[in-house]
Structure 1
Amino acid sequence: MLSQRQKKLIASMANKKFRDEYKLFLAEGPKIVSDLIVSGMKPRLICAAPGKELPKVLVHFEIIEISQKELDSISFQITPQQVLALFEQPKYTINYNAIKQELALVLDGIQDPGNLGTIIRMADWFGINNIICSKDTVDIFNNKVVQATMGALAGVRVHYADLAEFLGTYTKSCSNPVYGTFLEGNNLYQEKLLTPSVIVLGNEGRGIRDNIAEYITDKITIPMYSGSRGSESLNVGVSAAIVCAEFRRVEAYSK
């Protein structure tokens, strides 16, 4: 059974202020919790309700047994998933020497938690180690972001920085291309895509800000299929997946 103090701590994870103060974040579900642990994340508290057998990795930790009713009362999910845990927030520093030798993503003002979570999950799938976010991008430790990553959070280093400052330093330290996704740009499938490089993805509504666009060397776009009825744009998570898949395809088959 959880103490009132523990319940209060879990509830406080809804607020970024307290997530930052306690240096913690919440994850829910047997798979996500176990994946984070296997990837090296440190759990501060784990609680579980009766149900199916728990993942074996959890037997190495102290688990607070709670009722389904208690889980329902503390969970942030509409349908609670048996296991809930608090993890210590990982802290990363931007390593320019490493980033300029690989493919990295830059996110300019992504606001939707689902979009950010999807992009992190996609980055993990394509072996992208670093994502640099503008300071107004949604918090990576927002519960909806954590759940949308499906455990991929531990596989990608997510940084928050002044993007103009980051790109200024990056472009001065190397001659790598800086690609940016725009509605009007060079056809992604006809462009010479080079790695190492960075790919800039813009806000869901306004796109890439002008002061960030100044650092972009190559504007790219995903061409609309000739039979399309003319959708206004693609979801930023979908766009990120298409662009990164093409970069990895070119990288793999041009050798």
Structure 2
Amino acid sequence: MLSKNKIKQLRSLHLKKFRRSEGLFVAEGQKLVFDLLDSEMKVREVFCTPELIATVEGKGFNPKNIHTSQPADLKKISQLKSSPDIVATVRIPEHSLSWEEIAGDLCLALDGVQDPGNLGTIIRLADWFGIKNILCSEDTVDLYNPKTIQATMGAIARIRLHYGNLPNYLQWANEMEIPVYGTFLEGEAIYSASLSPNGIIVMGNEGKGISDDVEPFIQHKIHIPNFPADRMTSESLNVAMATSITCSEFRRRMMPNKS
């Protein structure tokens, strides 16, 4: 059985201040934990039922850092509705920001995205569309929020997030002549707009969109039109849905024409 102190320590990692002070976050469930074990992420400890120990050891993980745990203890650690059979603590990585890399490819920028599920889904989308870097405003929800981690479905191991002053980031991009796109209701229809194979795509807050501080650095305003144009429809798309459509159109333009 896990000690009360160990359970308390693991539960504390659900809060941002303790994650930052200890440099750790929690991953739950077989899909996520096994993906992280297979990645370059540094898994510190694994807590699992006896049935999974052989699988964890088979991935080359140090047996000394595997703790046999009963379902009742794992439930006390977890924030999932259904108790997982495996939980891991993982070292928070430190990523350096390479403007040379960003200048040569597509990059996402998130301006005040607040919902952990949206952020996790956007990270998963970035992984799917081969986008390696995401710039985040300082008020964007924490990447290591348990709900965000869960929503990434393991994509967190392959995507680098950089939190900082987003207007400053975009000002540097402007000075380096990196194209900066932003999604606006009054923008040009994305399907007819000229899109470059590289650049930064800014996605705004769920309710307010792109902020006044960020808008001056947007060079190209784009819009996802509804269909048909004169039909009454929803006021806007969910930010993760809009990110999916936008990334798909940018990447579609890069595909070779086989005709």
What residue is the counterpart of 2:13 in the other structure?
Answer: 13
For the 8 Å contact 1:110–1:137, the answer to whether it is kept is yes
- 1:77 aligned to which of 75, 80, 85: 80
SS in 1 for 2:174: helix
1:226 matched to 2:228: yes
Query: So what's the TM-score if we normalise by structure 1?
Result: 0.95
State how 1:53-72 maps to structure 2 within 5 Å. Answer: 55=55, 57-58=58-59, 60-62=61-63, 63-72=66-75
Instruction: Report if the CA contact (8 A) 1:179-1:220 is conserved.
Output: yes
Shift of 1:50: 4.7
Q: Is the partner of 1:64 in helix, strand or coil?
A: strand
Pairs within 5 Å for 1:69-218:
69-173=72-176, 175-218=177-220
Query: In 2, distance between residues paired with 1:162 and 1:229?
Result: 37
Structure 1 CA distance for aligned equivalents of residues 8 and 84 of structure 2: 20
AA in 2 matched with 1:9: Q
1:204 partner letter: E
Alignment check: 8 A CA contact 2:7 2:76 kept: no
1:40-85 per-residue CA deviation (whole Å, 9 max, x = no partner) reads 1111110012557864554633321111111112211110221100
Q: Distance in 2 between matches of 1:232 and 1:81?
A: 38
Taking the aligned partners of 1:236 and 1:50, their CA distance within structure 2 comes to 41
Aligned equivalent of 1:47:
47
- The secondary structure found in structure 2 opposite 1:81 is coil
Query: Which digits, 9 at most, give the CA deviation of each residue in 1:148-197, with x for residues without a partner?
Result: 00000011000101001111112112x23110001111000001110210
SS of the counterpart of 1:41? Answer: coil
Identical aligned residues as a percent: 44
Secondary structure of 1:11 counterpart: helix
Give the CA RMSD over aligned residues: 1.7
Equivalent residue, structure 2, for 1:243: 246
TM-score by length of 2: 0.93
Alpha-carbon spacing, 1:162–1:11, altered in 2? closer, same or farther (3 Å): same
> 2:181 & 2:73 partners in 1: Cα distance?
48
Q: d(CA) in 2 for partners of 1:147 and 1:224?
A: 31
**Secondary structure class of the residue paired with 1:33:** helix
Name the aligned partner's letter for residue 14 of structure 1. H
Secondary structure of 1:203's counterpart equals coil
Moved more, 220-229 or 15-24: 220-229
Q: Please state whether the residue corresponding to 2:151 is helix, strand or coil.
A: helix
The answer (yes or no) to whether the contact 1:50–1:82 under 8 Å persists in 2 is no
Q: Is the 8 A contact 2:38 2:59 kept in 1?
A: no
Tell me, in whole angstroms, the C-alpha distance in 2 between the residues paired with 1:13 and 1:68. Answer: 19
Segment of structure 1 superposing worse, 33-42 or 139-148: 33-42
CA offsets per residue over residues 189-243 of structure 1, 9 Å max, x none?
0011102100000000000011201011110011101185410110000100110
- Name the CA distance, whole Å, in 1 between partners of 2:123 and 2:223: 21
What amino acid sits opposite 1:76 in the alignment?
Q
Tell me whether 67-76 or 46-55 shows the greater mean CA deviation: 46-55
Give the total of aligned pairs. 254
What per-residue deviation string (whole Å, max 9, x for no partner) do you get for residues 127-158 of structure 1?
00000000000000000000000000011000
The alignment partner of 1:199 has SS state of: strand
3-state SS, counterpart of residue 252 of structure 2: helix
Distance in structure 1 (CA, Å) of the matches to 2:166 and 2:60: 42
On the 8 A contact 2:48/2:67 being kept in 1, the answer is yes
